[in-house]
Chains A and B, each alone.
Chain A
Amino acid sequence: MSDDIGQDDLLRINNLNVQFRTSEGVFRAVRDVSISVRSGETLGIVGESGSGKSVTALSIMNLVPNPPGETSGEIIFNQQNLRELSTEEVRKIRGNEIAMIFQEPMTSLNPIHTCGKQIMEPLLLHKGFSKKEAKARALELLKLVGIPIPEQRFKEYPHQLSGGMRQRVMIAMALACRPKLLLADEPTTALDVTIQAQIMELLKNLRKEIDSAIIMITHDLGIITEMCDRVVVMYAGQVVESGPLKELIREPLHPYTEGLLRSIPTITKEKQRLHTIEGTVPSPFEMPFGCSFQPRCNYSTSNCSEQAPDLIHVSPDRAVRCWHHVNELGKD
């Protein structure tokens, strides 16, 4: 199928499953997810809380705690299956070829080390830089992420910086080794709106300069439309739709994507109640029969609640997990 196209994919996730064994039962956080990212491309992963976005990102870094987490599937980065590498080999990739920006800049920096020291860390670790070289590069990075007076900030501790500054420092840390792939896990969620806009602006500009692929994980479709090339929509641990940004916005195939797009507030529309998708993500312990979205779906039919649909490719670039499209294809 169309899966065979991308031999030159930078990252390919095949049939990723992550489940957590808890005292209440087995909780399947990620179900049969397959995603690919090409070099230099920005992929957006959207979904509500609990849709498995962050766990997917963590499993790329091999950071899902085990136990209680159990992971299966293939994660192929640069023709290597990360899941078959030793911990030592994975460590050499982390922070070097794949780097991650975390959600909470307040707690993701160690309070007892200076910002400069924390940015130098990956350089000393992976690139074998001398302290002097690392410092020079760290100052360069601080300038790159738009921090004024880098020499001053270099010596300061995280508590002396504002949230936006700290997120910039986190981004500098992630970019230190010029990673081929950057995972941004809700990089702006913890920031207030004006700072969010600044950080998004920074990421957009950096994208041109650093030419690494980015996986942008967010629940904010606005962010996705601003900077992504392709989008993957996740719901209850599954990919429900994927495709190029423009096509997906123009013509959403899955009812969930449609709902998400309709619930973005706009200034131009006349005053009316903002559209919402009724209900919440199902509890992982009580997954509905059939399609996971079926209890909240306006188009659900009896077929939807009996059997789970597969992810089918409607075109080489686009895939959707919905019975309605299976049926349409069948008719063709």
Chain B
Amino acid sequence: MLLRIMKNNFLFSIGIIVCSLWIVIALMAPLITPYSYLAQDLAHRFQAPSSLHWFGTDSIGRDVFSRVLMGSRISLIAGLATIILASIVGMIYGGIAGYIGGLADEIMMRISEMVMAFPGIILAMTIAAALGPSLYNTLLAMVIIWWPNYARVMRSMVIANKENEYVEAAKSLGASHFRIFFNEILPNSVGPVLVLATLDFGNAILLFSGLSFLGLGSPPPTPEWGAMVADGVLNFNYWWIGTFPGLAILTMAVGTNFIGDSLRDFLDPRLRKEL
């Protein structure tokens, strides 16, 4: 099935291949890294890529290849956690706003628009800086700037779906609001939110790398791609320190975007084509 789909859609198959490669790497990272990602070797710092150190070594002699591989874990976790948490928060918030409607809806949506009105990365920087740089605080900051997107999509879906006759029919059978929401409306509304989440996955990884680049991600010596790129900027003469983690970010972001785009085309009837 997957193979058949991949044969027909070039971008989708590239996305699937790249992403599954990264997932496999993330899962097996400690087994396949040639060196420990923490092992310093000051005698061999700033070594260019060679057969010993495929991606060279950094300013304190750590193996860049090992660190890039290990870095896939934190990037994937950060992207997934942000998307999952933000979509859950957004779906509940938008779902409630859409279901209740009226004044509550107005107030709730204005609040979410206030959050959206701030430039995302600056708001995330402010929050992360105020709470202090750590993985959890950065994730929290990203969830805070991200959930309103999902809330808006979810709200519009719930508003459209709650007018359906099967909702009225469920009411006439004596179903409670809770049951109507979770049993009738929610399952019919999550599709577009899931597509948005897939599309956003790459963006979340980019944002997380961006925040780490600015020193707001997980603190060193955690191997994080954005922080490694920042390290590469400090040692600009040694191109390999920043280039390889940069390429890693690029491939993962592009791969997830390819998948998201294909999914959106597939689920949007106006753009529908075979996946």
**With A111-B188, A112-B187 in contact, is A63–B172 under 8 Å at CB?**
yes
* Cβ–Cβ contact A108 & B174, under 8 A: no
Chain A: CB-nearest residue to B186 = A112
| Contact indicator per residue, chain A 97-134, by CB within 8 Å of chain B (1) or not (0) | 00110101001111111000000011001100000000
* Pair count A-B, CB < 8 A: 60
Interface: A94 (CB within 8 A)? yes
* Cβ–Cβ contact A126 & B174, under 8 A: yes
Count chain A CB atoms within 10 A of each CB in B174, B175, B176 and give the residue with the most. Answer: B174
* Cβ–Cβ contact A61 & B169, under 8 A: no
Interface: B8 (CB within 8 A)? no
| Contact indicator per residue, chain B 163-189, by CB within 8 Å of chain A (1) or not (0) | 011101111111110010001100110
Minimum CB–CB distance for B126 against chain A, Å = 41
- Bound-state Cα–Cα, A95 to B173, Å: 4
* Cβ–Cβ contact A122 & B174, under 8 A: yes
Count chain A CB atoms within 10 A of each CB in B169, B171, B172, B175 and give the residue with the most. Answer: B172
Chain A interface extent, by class:
20 to 34
- Bound-state Cα–Cα, A238 to B121, Å: 62
- Bound-state Cα–Cα, A111 to B176, Å: 19
Chain A: CB-nearest residue to B187 = A112
* Cβ–Cβ contact B173 & A108, under 8 A: no
- Bound-state Cα–Cα, A63 to B184, Å: 17
- Bound-state Cα–Cα, A277 to B169, Å: 34
Pairs A–B under 8 Å by Cβ, sample size 16: A91-B174, A94-B172, A96-B174, A99-B172, A100-B169, A100-B172, A102-B168, A108-B165, A108-B166, A109-B169, A110-B166, A112-B187, A113-B183, A121-B175, A122-B174, A125-B179
Interface size of B in residues (CB-CB distance below 8 Å): 17
Interface of B is mostly: helix
Interface: A170 (CB within 8 A)? yes
* Cβ–Cβ contact A173 & B173, under 8 A: yes
Query: Top 6 nearest A-B pairs by Cβ distance?
Result: A95-B173, A95-B174, A94-B174, A110-B166, A107-B165, A100-B172
Chain B: CB-nearest residue to A103 = B165
* Cβ–Cβ contact B172 & A61, under 8 A: yes
Q: B169: which of A92, A125, A170 is its contact (CB, 8 Å)?
A: A170
Chain B: CB-nearest residue to A117 = B183
Interface: A308 (CB within 8 A)? no
- Bound-state Cα–Cα, A296 to B174, Å: 41
| Contact indicator per residue, chain A 260-272, by CB within 8 Å of chain B (1) or not (0) | 0000000000000
Interface: A195 (CB within 8 A)? no
* Cβ–Cβ contact A108 & B187, under 8 A: no
**With A110-B188, A111-B188 in contact, is A102–B165 under 8 Å at CB?**
yes
| A-facing residues in B224-271 (Cβ within 8 Å) | none
Minimum CB–CB distance for A217 against chain B, Å = 14
Chain A: CB-nearest residue to B185 = A110
Interface: A144 (CB within 8 A)? no
**With A110-B188, A112-B187 in contact, is A122–B168 under 8 Å at CB?**
no
Q: B173: which of A94, A104, A112 is its contact (CB, 8 Å)?
A: A94
Interface: A93 (CB within 8 A)? yes
Q: B168: which of A108, A112, A113 is its contact (CB, 8 Å)?
A: A108
Minimum CB–CB distance for B167 against chain A, Å = 8
* Cβ–Cβ contact A91 & B176, under 8 A: yes
**With A102-B165, A104-B165, A109-B166 in contact, is A125–B173 under 8 Å at CB?**
yes
- Bound-state Cα–Cα, A108 to B173, Å: 12
Chain A: CB-nearest residue to B161 = A110
- Bound-state Cα–Cα, A91 to B168, Å: 13
- Bound-state Cα–Cα, A325 to B173, Å: 42
* Cβ–Cβ contact A108 & B171, under 8 A: no
**With A111-B188, A112-B187, A112-B188 in contact, is A95–B172 under 8 Å at CB?**
yes
Chain A: CB-nearest residue to B167 = A110
* Cβ–Cβ contact B168 & A121, under 8 A: no
Chain B: CB-nearest residue to A111 = B188
- Bound-state Cα–Cα, A270 to B250, Å: 83
Minimum CB–CB distance for A121 against chain B, Å = 6
Chain B: CB-nearest residue to A183 = B172
- Bound-state Cα–Cα, A263 to B175, Å: 41
* Cβ–Cβ contact A63 & B174, under 8 A: no
